[in-house]
């Protein structure tokens, strides 16, 4: 077992070890192996969500750059923190690539082929193939040999290096967050301590305004040197031994994915911290762009519209003077009219019309005339179908549609449908319902003239779809977010509902069941009808501090279609 020349006692211990591990292997059921595959997929999905959020945060740097350039703000400060954010992104790619690389080498040893699916432009691994395709899922010899070795009390260097690499990333990024100059002579810095016991002392050289976030980041990526062993009565063991000793390949792979998720969560903290260090002021009056706009650019013959002309950055207490001409008068400034505020435009004749003029703006106390122009169309009456929520019809849902016909009284407008049923709500408003399985529907508009005859004003095609997936929440937290431990313990159910940003409203989803898992803790809790958690689930959540909770929720929407949704949250 240990290699080299062994004593008879060592040989006996080695033989007993082989027998024990063989017995353990017989007890690794297919259900447990499959559960690790599911857990890995859920953790990976959460990491993807957090990565997308990080990309959005990086995009916010560009918005702040534009605001600072427009206002001639402190670009030196901006370049400092965006540079740190760019370096952070590169360092994160390296550590994630390292973790996935170790996972790949483990699987490659078992399967004989690389398990890499995607790399970034720098050559870092960003994605591995699905674990479900691994033949030897329950092989635990390879993770044990690679990351623990023959003596769990003294694991091999490769296993110890995983923890070391994560701590090196933690220390470097924490230093990036804390090290900068404030003003002319105030220099802040941070030297990461060897362990959390020295954190309070190390934070004394940081800006007091930063210490809470730096400490939060440091703790988020601090892995214990030892953990309690799996068996009752055993002493604490080195971290790699508890994590990888006799762990099936899929369980070890899920642990690497969990570590990747921890890194992406920590990256999110650091990126938002760096973005917050850049103060981009509200856009001021340093640049002026004239703007002409109206409620609509299309009116019917005989109607009118109000055209507003103002500057993009303006003082609302001062009403600007406007000079303008319409159509033929746009070429002759002598015929221009002068008004203050809004311009009244009339649809006396159909067709395209142009308005051109200047607006008076004060610059350094002097009135300057800024040019602008606007075009609008006067058209003949026509019918349209407007769907305030979406241009699709959802199965089983009360889809709100409106029929309008310019030039006609709303009470004279009627809708008829093909592939859907319509019920009138008055004033051109209807509820459209489509049966499950319907793919397309058509709604036609007609109106009655003053003489009582009906005129067709067009028909419109709609795509029919099942209801969109629900948003799963636990204690008000949605997937990918962090949750306080006290809030997690005090919550006894999960909820599903429509995303608040969706234009759909009054959509009722019903929880029919599900499961609850906590990373690093064996066992599965159950979700009952209505979203309530059973005692096993609450027991797991009571042990979830510093871990990730995974919810797998079965639910139905108004269309009657059963769905499975997942939600993960990190417990602080």
Confidence at residue 21, expressed as pLDDT on a 0 to 100 scale: 41
Q: What is the pLDDT of residue 26?
A: 44
C-alpha distances in Å from residue 425, one per residue of 96, 403, 414: 56, 11, 11
Q: Are residues 14 and 92 both part of a single domain?
A: yes
| Residue that is last in its domain, among 446, 465, 484 | 465
Specify if 413 maps to a domain. Answer: yes
End-to-end, the C-alpha distance of the chain in Å comes to: 41
Distance CA 105, CA 115 (A): 8
Looking at residue 471, what is its pLDDT?
Answer: 93
Whose structure tokens read 């599911």? 38
My answer on whether 501 and 457 are in the same domain is no
Judge if 350 and 482 occupy the same domain.
Answer: no
Q: Do 241 and 216 fall into the same domain?
A: yes
| Residue 355, in any domain of the structure | yes
Q: What is the pLDDT of residues 293-328, one digit of tens each?
A: 665 555 555 567 677 776 555 555 567 788 999 888
For the stretch 464-492, pLDDT in tens is 988 888 999 999 999 999 999 999 999 99
Q: Which helix (H) or strand (E) holds 414?
A: strand 413-418
Q: What is the pLDDT of residue 295?
A: 58
- Residues 49 and 125 placed together within one structural domain of the fold: yes
Q: How confident is the model at residue 339 (pLDDT cuts 50, 70, 90)?
A: confident
What's the pLDDT band for 442 if we cut at 50, 70, 90?
Answer: very high
Quote the pLDDT of residue 81. Answer: 95
Residue-wise pLDDT for 14-39, tens only, equals 444 444 344 344 445 667 777 888 88
Which position has the higher pLDDT, 374 or 7? Answer: 374
Residue whose C-alpha is closest to residue 180's, from 103, 41, 295, 83: 83
Count of CB atoms within 10 A of residue 78's CB?
20
Q: What is the CATH number of the domain that holds 375?
A: 2.60.40.10
Average pLDDT over residues 525-540: 95
Distances from the Cα of 292 to the Cα of 21, 173, 343, 415, angstroms: 78, 48, 10, 36
Residue 350 near residue 382, CB atoms below 8 Å = no
> Has residue 283 been placed in a domain?
no
Say what angle helices 75-111 and 157-178 make with each other, to 10 degrees. 170
pLDDT in tens, 535-558: 999 999 999 999 999 999 999 988
**CATH number reported for the structural domain that contains residue 415 in this entry:** 2.60.40.1080
Please check the confidence at residue 374 and state whether its pLDDT lies above 60.
yes
Question: What is the predicted pLDDT for the residue at 373?
Answer: 86
H or E segment and range at residue 239: helix 239-244
Q: Where are the beta strands (DSSP E) in 226-365?
A: 226-227, 237-238, 290-294, 298-300, 304-311, 321-326, 337-340, 342-346, 351-363
Q: Percentage of the chain with pLDDT > 90?
A: 52
Tokens matching residue 523: 């066992």
- pLDDT at residue 85 greater than cutoff 80: yes
**How are strands ordered across the β-sheet holding 471-474?**
477-478, 471-474, 494-497
395-436 pLDDT, tens per residue? 888 888 887 776 666 777 889 999 999 998 877 789 999 998
pLDDT at residue 507 tops 70: yes
Q: Yes or no: say if 544 and 518 are a contact pair by the CB < 8 Å rule.
A: yes
* Predicted pLDDT at 293: 63
Q: Helices 249-276 and 157-178 sit at what angle, rounded to 10 degrees?
A: 10
Mean of the per-residue pLDDT values of the chain:
84
Burial of residue 52 (CB within 10 Å: 0-12, 13-18, 19+) is exposed
SS3 state at 443: strand
Q: How far is CA 71 from CA 66, 80, 288, in A?
A: 9, 18, 12
Tokens of 439: 């793919």
Token couple for 225: 């040197």
Compute the distance between CA of residue 173 and CA of residue 168 in angstroms, rounded to an integer. Answer: 9
Residues 496 and 478: beta-carbon distance below 8 Å: no
pLDDT for the residue 285: 45
Q: What percent of the chain has pLDDT over 70?
A: 83
Q: Are strands 392-394 and 454-465 parallel, antiparallel or unpaired?
A: parallel
Query: What is the pLDDT confidence band of residue 383, given thresholds at 50, 70 and 90?
Result: low
What integer pLDDT is reported at residue 163 of this predicted model?
97
Q: Computed from CA positions of residues 204, 266, 262, 157, in that sequence, does the dihedral angle turn out positive or negative?
A: negative
* pLDDT (mean) for 145-152: 95
Residue reference for tokens 């699987």: 107
Same domain, yes or no, for 357 and 398?
no
Residue 281 lies in a domain: no
Residue carrying the six token digits 């024990």: 20
Residues 129 and 261 in one domain: yes
27 shares its domain with 150 = yes
How many whole angstroms separate alpha carbon 267 and alpha carbon 166?
Answer: 12
Tell me which of 242, 276, 310 is where a domain ends.
Answer: 276
User: Exposed e or buried b for every residue in 330-339, given b needs 16+ CB within 10 A?
Assistant: beeeeebeee
CA distance 431 to 435: 13
Which residue, of 353, 379, 405, is where some domain finishes? 379
- How many Cα atoms occupy the beta-carbon half-sphere of 423 within 13 Å? 6
Give the Cα separation of 366 and 133 in Å (integer).
74
* C-alpha atoms less than 13 angstroms from C-alpha of 374 in its C-beta half-sphere: 26
For residue 12, what pLDDT is reported? 46
Asked if residues 509 and 530 have their Cβ atoms less than 8 Å apart, the reply is no
Q: Residue 67: inside a domain, yes or no?
A: yes
Residue 121 reports pLDDT greater than 70: yes
User: Which sign, positive or negative, has the C-alpha torsion 229, 235, 241, 246?
Assistant: negative
pLDDT confidence tier of residue 359, bands split at 50, 70 and 90? confident
Give the integer Cα–Cα distance in Å for 430 and 96.
53
Whichever domain contains 544, its CATH number is: 2.60.40
Distance between alpha carbon 436 and the CA centroid of its chain, in Å?
30
Query: What is the DSSP secondary-structure string of 79-107?
Result: HHHHHHHHHHHHHHHHHHHHHHHHHHHHH
- Residue 446 inside a domain? The answer is yes
> Does pLDDT of 10 surpass 80?
no
Query: Is 338 in the same domain as 320?
Result: yes
185 is in which domain, residue-wise? 8-276
The answer on 344 and 317 residing in a single domain is yes
Domain-embedded: residue 1: no
Confidence of residue 362 (pLDDT cuts 50, 70, 90): low
Q: 238: which strand partners?
A: 226
Element (H, E) at 570: strand 562-571
Residue 103 maps to a domain = yes
Could you give the number of structural domains in the chain?
Answer: 4
Query: What DSSP designation does 220 have?
Result: H
Q: Are residues 56 and 104 in the same domain?
A: yes
Same-domain check for residues 35 and 78: yes
pTM confidence score: 0.49
Residue 303 has a pLDDT of 61
Tokens of 427: 């004033």
**Cβ–Cβ < 8 Å for 461, 470:** no
Within 10 Å of residue 255's Cβ, how many Cβ atoms?
24
């Amino acid at each position: 077992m240990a290699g080299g020349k062994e004593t008879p006692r060592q040989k006996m211990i080695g033989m007993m070890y082989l027998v024990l591990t063989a017995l353990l292997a017989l007890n690794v059921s297919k259900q447990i192996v499959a559960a690790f595959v599911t857990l890995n997929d859920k953790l990976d999905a959460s990491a993807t969500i957090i990565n997308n959020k990080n990309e959005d945060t990086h995009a916010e740097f560009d918005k702040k750059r534009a605001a600072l350039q427009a206002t001639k703000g402190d670009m030196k400060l901006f370049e400092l923190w965006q540079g740190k954010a760019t370096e952070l992104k590169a360092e994160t790619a390296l550590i994630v690539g390292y973790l996935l690389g170790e996972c790949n080498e483990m699987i490659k040893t078992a399967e004989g082929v690389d398990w890499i699916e995607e790399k970034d432009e720098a050559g870092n691994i960003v994605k591995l193939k699905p674990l479900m395709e691994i033949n030897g899922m329950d092989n635990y010899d390879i993770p044990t040999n690679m990351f623990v070795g023959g003596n769990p009390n003294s694991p091999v260097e490769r296993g110890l290096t995983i923890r070391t690499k994560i701590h090196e990333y933690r220390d470097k990024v924490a230093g990036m967050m804390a090290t900068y100059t404030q003003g002319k002579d105030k220099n802040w810095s941070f030297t990461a301590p060897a362990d959390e016991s020295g954190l309070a002392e190390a934070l004394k050289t940081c800006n007091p305004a930063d210490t809470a976030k730096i400490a939060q980041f440091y703790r988020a990526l601090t892995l214990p040197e030892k953990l309690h062993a799996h068996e009752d009565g055993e002493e604490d063991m080195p971290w790699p031994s508890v994590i990888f000793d006799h762990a099936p390949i899929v369980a070890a792979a899920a642990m690497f994915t969990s570590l990747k998720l921890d890194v992406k969560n920590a990256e999110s903290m650091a990126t938002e911290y760096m973005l917050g260090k850049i103060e981009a002021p509200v856009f001021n009056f340093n640049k002026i762009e004239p703007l002409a706009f109206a409620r609509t650019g299309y009116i019917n013959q005989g109607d009118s519209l109000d055209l507003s002309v103002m500057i993009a950055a303006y003082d609302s207490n001062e009403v600007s003077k406007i000079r303008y001409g319409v159509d033929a008068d746009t070429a002759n400034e002598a015929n221009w009219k002068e008004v203050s505020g809004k311009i009244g435009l009339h649809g006396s004749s159909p067709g395209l019309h142009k308005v051109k003029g200047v607006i008076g703006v004060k610059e350094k106390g002097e009135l300057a005339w800024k040019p602008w122009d606007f075009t609008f169309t006067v058209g003949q009456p026509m019918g349209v179908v407007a769907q305030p929520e979406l241009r699709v019809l959802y199965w089983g849902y009360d889809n709100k549609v409106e029929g309008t016909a310019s030039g006609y009284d709303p009470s004279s407008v009627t809708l008829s449908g093909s592939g859907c049923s319509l019920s009138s709500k008055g004033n051109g408003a209807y509820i459209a319902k489509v049966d499950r399985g319907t793919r397309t529907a058509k709604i036609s508009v007609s109106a009655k003239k003053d003489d009582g005859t009906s005129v067709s004003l067009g028909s419109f095609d709609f795509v029919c779809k099942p209801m969109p997936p629900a948003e799963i929440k636990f204690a008000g937290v949605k997937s990918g977010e962090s949750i306080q431990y006290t809030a997690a313990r005090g919550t006894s159910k999960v909820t599903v509902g429509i995303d608040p940003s969706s234009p759909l409203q009054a959509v009722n989803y019903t929880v029919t069941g599900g499961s609850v898992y906590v990373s690093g803790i064996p066992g599965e809790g159950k979700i009952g009808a209505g979203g309530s958690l059973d005692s096993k689930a609450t027991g797991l959540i009571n042990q979830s501090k510093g871990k990730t909770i995974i919810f797998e929720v079965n639910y139905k929407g108004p269309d009657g279609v059963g769905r499975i949704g997942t939600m993960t949250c990190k417990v602080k």
